[in-house]
Amino acid sequence: MSGTSLFGRGKKDQVSRAASGGRVDRARPLTFTFDGKSYQGYEGDTLASALLANNIHLVGRSFKYHRPRGIIAVGSEEPNALVRVGRGAKAEPNLRATQVELYDGLYAESQNRFPSLKFDIGAVNSILQRFFPAGFYYKTFMWPASMWMTYEHVIRNAAGLGKVADDHNDPDRYEKTNAHCDVLIAGGGVAGLMAALQAGRSGARVILADEQNEFGGWLLGESDTTIDGKTPADWVAGVVAELEAMPEVTLLPRTTVFGYMDHNYITLTERVTDHLGERPVHLPRQRMWKVRAGQTVLAQGAHERPLVFSGNDLPGVMLSGAVRSYINRYGVVPGNRTVVFTNNDDAYRTALALHSAGANVVVVDLRRDLKGELVKAVRAAGIQVMSGSAVTIAAGTQRIARVEISPVNEGATEVLDDPIHMDCDLLAMSGGLTPAVHLHSQARGKLGWDEQLLCFKPTTVHEASFNAGAGNGVFAADKAIENGMQAGTAAARAAGFDIADGSAPEVAAPAQSWRPLAAWKVTNGMGEGEGPKAFVDYQNDVTASDVKLAVREGYQSVEHVKRYTTLGMATDQGKTSNINGLAILAESLGNEIPQVGTTTFRMPYTPSGFGAIAGRDIGDLFDPVRLTRMDDWHRANGATFEHVGQWMRAWYYPKDGETLREAVDREVLAARTTAGLLDASTLGKIDIQGPDAAEFLNRLYTNSWLKLGIGKCRYGLMLKDDGMVMDDGVTTRLGENHFHMTTTTGGAAGVLDWMEEWLQTEWPELKVYLTSVTEEWSVATLSGPNAGKILKAAGVDISLDPVDFPFMAMREAHIAGLPVRIFRISFTGELSYEINIRARHGLALWTHLMKAGAEFGITPYGTEAMHVLRAEKGFIIVGQETDGSVTPQDLGMDWIVSKVKPDYIGKRALDRASMAADNRKQLVGLRTKERKQVIPEGAHAVLDPNQPMPMDMLGQVTSSYYSPNVGSSIAMAMLKGGRALMGGTVYLPMLDGSVIEAEVVEPIFYDPKGERING
């Protein structure tokens, strides 16, 4: 891209850019778009610094009142300048402009404005502010409930942060990675760098992460400091070079440590290509790191606090340190007529930086007795200093235009004299520093109040962790470097590495006091709540008055005030607002700040996109899909599929445009007139071996297993120890100490876990060994009057005579030369063979049977027909008829419950008095009066359809189908006292007001005597 854009803009458009200085590359201009207009910045800019270079302060509207807001900070603590970057599906909202690195072609939009940033209808919220006081969400809920729907719509549109990309899947690629290290260091300022050097020199495996594009932190924004005689940038470059040469050190710039969890489990988001206009396809956009660290060093730095005064949220009101960074690091001078408003020494460095950059400067200091090197230097530069004074009101429309300055008392609670008025276009404010203790606090470290620095700082840690630098309340650069060294040394030693103490580099910086004056809310000379608002929390639009109102309404706990006012919540997590809010709360309560305490900092430190959290686990990779070996055949033959757990099962096989109902009717009829073939490979299969296998089954199932003959099959019902049905299936004795169990498709893994739990925890004396063999076998179930003929035609090498191969037996045999296990069991009530073959031969068996069965009318059927066929016979499906609150007796299956076994899982629970209650839900059949009408599954039954609502519910329909074999609908239901209702009538009211009438019948609709089982 050339130095001038398509719109003919040139370098001269960067009206606030200094001629020289800063870490931007003036030889590499970049063009970007903000709210549809094209601008220019430089390589090395953030979106925020580039906007300020173009003298743009107004960048967004606030969350609640839609007030015009500007950039106030320089890093991740920025509460206002949230923008949406990118277009279409790639658009990402709520990015802090201060963290968005500029690239050529960057496209950004402001948020929370309609129709435009400069004219916003939502700003009417500001006029209607009486309706948005502290706790407005909660109060709104108390309005008439009927109106809530209306209000909610309005409020949801008016409030809230940016919008996500609509109707699009995120096209970008993300990754996740796991890592282990001896020492993880969060923050790459001077303290973090020194900690990394020490830990790295010890040979420890080190990860150093910093959220910015380059290491160095705050010092990159200082022009008055040298380290070992070098500029901070040169010193940092040397340290980074040394770290890069260490093989065990991993440097992660553009990486936010956003979560600190138990046992030093740390989560990081690395922005791999976000800063590039053209993103290489081989790289992910972002990468989430999950790190288990032996030790951590938290060197997060500190955040400067705003001063709380009327109009402090106008664009052009910025944090003092940020102003200095924009000048020194980015070569941007954000104003010409400037007021520096402070309660401490540090802002004097900003005054000097502004002065050097050619701006007019006036310092307004809340303190009276001003002394020290910096004050002297400022006065020597000819800068006017007004001590014992305050900016009581800042005014302007979309940018600060003038201020009122008055002498005030010590706490700035009273105005002592008439104000003077002063025009300005920038106000740099400094309310002191707050250590960023977010990670320390997430890790449940304790905080203590520092009376000198007026901030909370870490006291004791909970995890294996050390704090260092400004984040530890050590603000001076020389002390922070020492502190970082000590922390790095201690962490390396704690991780088992040896390292000498070393000596810290020499730092030369202006001497300054780090003690601010306590003046938490600057009066504007009017009554409480009058005059322009004074904001505490910019992002959540919480004012000093809101905090005071919460106290007047009776809130005392800091956690309650936080939730009531939303102070310190959401994505900002109170970075700039926390201490001011607490201090005003303490004052209102008449209490001390340490007694009020602080709220819990939540992760994430800054928001992390869901893309990085999901990584590659999306789309096809979200969850595995399990396919049977016959899947290709099903697809080739037009099957439709349904998900059963992770399995894809053939649902039905429509022919020539058949509907679901037509196809299923055909399949169901064939299974009872000729033969059907079902892919039953998905059934859970567990191989059980060991001398105590029979005893184990005897304890697991409700019926008796000790005397089951070899080669015989038995149906079993498994209960939880509360007596409720959990699974069922057929288990076969293959040998004296060897069984083959089948479970429901969905229950397979849970049943294996269940069996292992009992073996390992309750009955470790039993010698039993379990193996899941679900995938070892393919299963084709041949069912219907022609099943035997087809098996013969397929060449089975055993006698199928019922005398030789009776119902509920298993035979080993061969079909087409391949060994098979054939189980004569039936889920249809027809003559039925479940043919198990080594999984890899599944497709061969299936196609062979289809060929052999062609002349006998063989018809493949899917899970839908299977459901109809079993329901015709009244066979239950666990999880359909049962829901974890159903006993065998409820199902009318008392016959399967042993009366003689001394114990089995669930036995004692079934003896509970409540299990015999008459009004338990019991399984019944339903015969609709209108015989063809199919009741919707889930319909509720009542005795009196004319009863006023709420009606007395009897229970619900669990299975309901049309049965072509019966020639009518069939249904099963679980009804209260259902057995006693037999022969009576129940009613099923529908949503459309109609009522279905049905007779309660036995839950068996076809071949009640079981005469078809032998074909």
Partner 1 sequence: MLLITCPHCGPREESEFSCGGEAHIARPLAENNLTDAEFADYLFLRDNPKGMFLERWRHAAGCRRWFNMARDTVTHEIVEIYPMGNTPKSKAGKAAHADSWRRDTAAEAAAKPASKSRSKQGG
Residues that bind partner 1 (CB under 8 A): 261-265, 292, 462, 721-722, 753, 756-757, 760-764, 902-904, 907-909, 912-914
DSSP 8-class letter at 79:
S
Do residues 70 and 315 touch, judged by C-beta distance below 8 A? yes
281 strand-pairing partners: none
CB of 897 to partner 1, least distance (A): 13
Secondary element (H or E) of residue 999: strand 995-1001
Angle made by CA atoms 113, 119, 121, in degrees to the nearest 5 = 60
Q: Which is nearer to partner 1, 265 or 715 (CB)?
A: 265
Q: Which is nearer to partner 1, 729 or 906 (CB)?
A: 906
Q: What is each CA distance from 445 to 73, 472, 493, 589, 600, in whole angstroms?
A: 27, 12, 21, 26, 10
Cα 272 to Cα 287: distance, rounded to the nearest angstrom: 7
- Residue position matching structure tokens 């850019």: 17
Do residues 821 and 841 touch, judged by C-beta distance below 8 A? no
CB of 603 to partner 1, least distance (A): 12
DSSP 8-class letter at 760:
I
Cα 797 to Cα 340: distance, rounded to the nearest angstrom: 99
Cα 581 to Cα 268: distance, rounded to the nearest angstrom: 29
SS3 72: coil
CB of 312 to partner 1, least distance (A): 41
CB of 463 to partner 1, least distance (A): 10
Q: Which is nearer to partner 1, 568 or 684 (CB)?
A: 684
Q: Which is nearer to partner 1, 237 or 749 (CB)?
A: 749
Q: Are strands 995-1001 and 810-815 parallel, antiparallel or unpaired?
A: unpaired
CB of 770 to partner 1, least distance (A): 10
Closest Cα partner for 327 from 304, 355, 346? 355
CB of 913 to partner 1, least distance (A): 6
CB of 719 to partner 1, least distance (A): 12
Q: Which is nearer to partner 1, 462 or 661 (CB)?
A: 462
Q: Are strands 968-976 and 647-652 parallel, antiparallel or unpaired?
A: unpaired
Do residues 458 and 445 touch, judged by C-beta distance below 8 A? yes
Q: Which is nearer to partner 1, 908 or 929 (CB)?
A: 908
Angle made by CA atoms 305, 275, 288, in degrees to the nearest 5 = 80
CB of 909 to partner 1, least distance (A): 6
SS3 52: helix
- Residue position matching structure tokens 């063989």: 858
Cα 769 to Cα 739: distance, rounded to the nearest angstrom: 10
**Which residues lie closer than 8 Å to 578 by C-beta, 6 or more apart?**
434, 568, 598, 599
CB of 258 to partner 1, least distance (A): 14
Question: Which pair of tokens denotes residue 51?
Answer: 């906007």
* Per-residue H/E/C for 842-909: HHHHHHHHHHHHHHHCEEECCHHHHHHHHHHCCCCCCCCCCCCCCCCCCCCCHHHCCCCCCCCCCHHH
Do residues 85 and 3 touch, judged by C-beta distance below 8 A? no
Cα 471 to Cα 922: distance, rounded to the nearest angstrom: 65
Peptide bond just before 280 cis, omega within 30 deg: no
Q: Which is nearer to partner 1, 37 or 292 (CB)?
A: 292
CB of 260 to partner 1, least distance (A): 11
Secondary element (H or E) of residue 563: helix 558-565
Q: Which is nearer to partner 1, 390 or 686 (CB)?
A: 686
CB of 687 to partner 1, least distance (A): 15
Q: Which is nearer to partner 1, 157 or 771 (CB)?
A: 771
Q: Which is nearer to partner 1, 385 or 909 (CB)?
A: 909
Q: Which is nearer to partner 1, 750 or 857 (CB)?
A: 750
CB of 992 to partner 1, least distance (A): 42
**Which residues lie closer than 8 Å to 54 by C-beta, 6 or more apart?**
13, 14, 15, 16, 39, 40, 41
In terms of phi and psi (left: phi > 0; alpha: psi -120 to 50; beta: otherwise), the region of 19 is: alpha
Closest Cα partner for 348 from 392, 384, 395? 384
Do residues 672 and 873 touch, judged by C-beta distance below 8 A? no
Do residues 15 and 54 touch, judged by C-beta distance below 8 A? yes
Q: Which is nearer to partner 1, 632 or 756 (CB)?
A: 756
Q: Which is nearer to partner 1, 746 or 892 (CB)?
A: 746
769 strand-pairing partners: 689
Question: Which pair of tokens denotes residue 850?
Answer: 């289809």
Q: Which is nearer to partner 1, 144 or 902 (CB)?
A: 902
CB of 264 to partner 1, least distance (A): 8
CB of 291 to partner 1, least distance (A): 11
CA dihedral defined by 284, 288, 290, 293, rounded to 10 degrees?
Answer: 90
User: Where are the alpha helices (H) located in 302-412, listed in sequence order?
Assistant: 320-330, 347-356, 373-380
Q: Which is nearer to partner 1, 861 or 904 (CB)?
A: 904
Q: Which is nearer to partner 1, 146 or 760 (CB)?
A: 760
Question: Which pair of tokens denotes residue 470?
Answer: 């400004």
CB of 462 to partner 1, least distance (A): 7
Q: Which is nearer to partner 1, 352 or 726 (CB)?
A: 726
Q: Which is nearer to partner 1, 294 or 471 (CB)?
A: 294
Q: Are strands 542-543 and 640-644 parallel, antiparallel or unpaired?
A: unpaired
What's the number of CA atoms in the CB half-sphere (13 Å) around residue 328? 27
CB of 896 to partner 1, least distance (A): 17
CB of 914 to partner 1, least distance (A): 8
CB of 318 to partner 1, least distance (A): 39
